[in-house]
């Protein structure tokens, strides 16, 4: 198995730019994941985010999680659990409207830190979208424009902790799925592993690296690239001894953004028709909500069938 792709973003402004861009290209085409170092987010900020997140979990969420486990009798399960995840989470929304200040559970210092971190991640996400455009031969800003819709992109963060699990062979930290949205930026624990991706029918560990940001591609980028880039299945394996921190930020299209293969890529692949359907992002998300832990291909087919019905209806009214 080839080494997990790691991109040193510091090389993008040097004579090694072409090599760094090639790593990104290969990662997008063959892995759906890559890891960023020298990404421009300060080490001090990341350390503060990690410290405050772990403190918040111990103070506020650990006991809640233990009570949930006890109420469901999960300490003594004898068979595999397929309808829940061994994780403690909360969500923050940043765009188009932030709700961070509304979260009364978080103290002011944590709220300010997460707002600052989100701004840095937003800039990084938009920089990455332009790097993808460059590799794809699309005009600069194309992906950002597609994601924008009429009100701007959706951007939010899922803060998770995966506590020690007495039966990690029977309960997943997070069940296997592909991500529905655009580009995902993950700040993960550098001491406790657990994140895996599916490559060539094998589950591969995403290696914990200090102060790195893990990037993975969502379903929307697969559609826009007409399959040139792929979203891949990922999961989290629960650990028996340690708590794993995961801060995943999702830079997604706006609710009313229209998603379809980029015309330039359809032509490049010499396709007479689009491989993927055209749809409104919010419609896809409504479908995904009930099918998250199933294969993505039926979701694409359902959107394609829905588009056909809409087209037929439009013709019938002419």
pLDDT value at residue 314: 39
Would the pLDDT of 318 be above 80? no
pLDDT value at residue 316: 39
Condensed to tens digits (0 to 9), the pLDDT of residues 224-281 reads 999 999 999 999 999 999 999 999 999 999 999 999 999 999 875 555 556 799 999 9
* The Cα angle at residue 195 between residues 191 and 199, in degrees rounded to 5: 135
Condensed to tens digits (0 to 9), the pLDDT of residues 112-148 reads 999 999 999 999 999 999 999 999 999 999 999 999 9
Would the pLDDT of 165 be above 70? yes
Condensed to tens digits (0 to 9), the pLDDT of residues 168-193 reads 999 999 999 999 999 999 999 999 99
pLDDT value at residue 269: 54
Mean pLDDT across 79-89:
91
Kindly report the pTM of this predicted structure. Answer: 0.92
Asked if 263 and 167 count as a contact pair (C-beta separation under 8 A), the reply is no
Checking DSSP bridges between strand 202-205 and strand 213-217, what pairing results, if any? unpaired
Distances (CA, A) of 309 to 70, 300, 303: 47, 14, 10
For residues 76 and 224, what is the distance between their CA atoms, to the nearest angstrom?
45
Would the pLDDT of 307 be above 90? no
pLDDT value at residue 74: 86
pLDDT value at residue 73: 86
Give the residues across from 309 on adjacent strands: none
Distances (CA, A) of 284 to 5, 220, 300: 30, 9, 9
Average pLDDT, the chain: 92
For residues 134 and 141, what is the distance between their CA atoms, to the nearest angstrom?
10
Would the pLDDT of 309 be above 80? no
Q: Phi/psi at 81 (nearest 5 deg)?
A: -100, 125
pLDDT value at residue 104: 84
pLDDT value at residue 273: 53
Condensed to tens digits (0 to 9), the pLDDT of residues 4-44 reads 999 999 999 999 999 999 999 999 999 999 999 999 999 99
Mean pLDDT across 94-109:
92
pLDDT value at residue 77: 83
pLDDT value at residue 142: 98
Domains of the chain: 6-311 (2.60.120.330)
């Amino acid at each position: 198995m080839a080494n997990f792709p790691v991109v040193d973003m510091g090389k993008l402004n040097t004579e090694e730019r072409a090599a760094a861009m090639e790593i990104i290209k290969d990662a997008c085409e063959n892995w759906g994941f890559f890891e960023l170092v020298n990404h421009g987010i300060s080490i001090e900020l990341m350390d503060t985010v990690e410290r405050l997140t772990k403190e918040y979990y111990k103070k506020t969420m650990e006991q809640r999680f233990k009570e949930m486990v006890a109420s469901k009798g999960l300490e003594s399960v004898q068979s595999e659990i397929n309808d829940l995840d061994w994780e403690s989470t909360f969500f923050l929304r940043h765009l188009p409207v932030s709700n961070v200040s509304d979260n009364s559970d978080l103290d002011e210092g944590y709220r300010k830190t997460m707002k600052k971190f989100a701004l840095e991640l937003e800039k990084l996400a938009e920089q990455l979208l332009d790097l993808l455009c460059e590799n794809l031969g699309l005009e600069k800003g194309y992906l950002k424009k597609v994601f924008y819709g009429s009100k701007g992109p959706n951007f939010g963060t899922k803060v998770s902790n995966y506590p020690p699990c007495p039966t990690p062979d029977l309960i997943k930290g997070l069940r296997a799925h592909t991500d529905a949205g655009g580009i995902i930026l993950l700040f993960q624990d550098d001491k406790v592993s657990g994140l895996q991706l599916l490559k060539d029918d094998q589950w591969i560990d995403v290696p914990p690296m200090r102060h790195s940001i893990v990037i993975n591609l969502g379903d929307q980028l697969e559609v826009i690239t007409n399959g040139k880039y792929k979203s891949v299945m990922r999961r989290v394996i629960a650990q028996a001894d340690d708590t794993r921190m995961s801060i995943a930020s999702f830079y997604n299209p706006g609710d009313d953004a229209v998603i379809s293969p980029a015309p330039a890529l359809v032509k490049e692949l010499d396709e007479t028709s689009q491989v993927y359907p055209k749809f409104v992002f919010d419609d896809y998300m409504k479908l995904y909500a009930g099918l998250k832990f199933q294969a993505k291909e039926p979701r694409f087919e359902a959107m394609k069938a829905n588009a056909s019905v809409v087209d037929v209806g439009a013709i019938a009214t002419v």
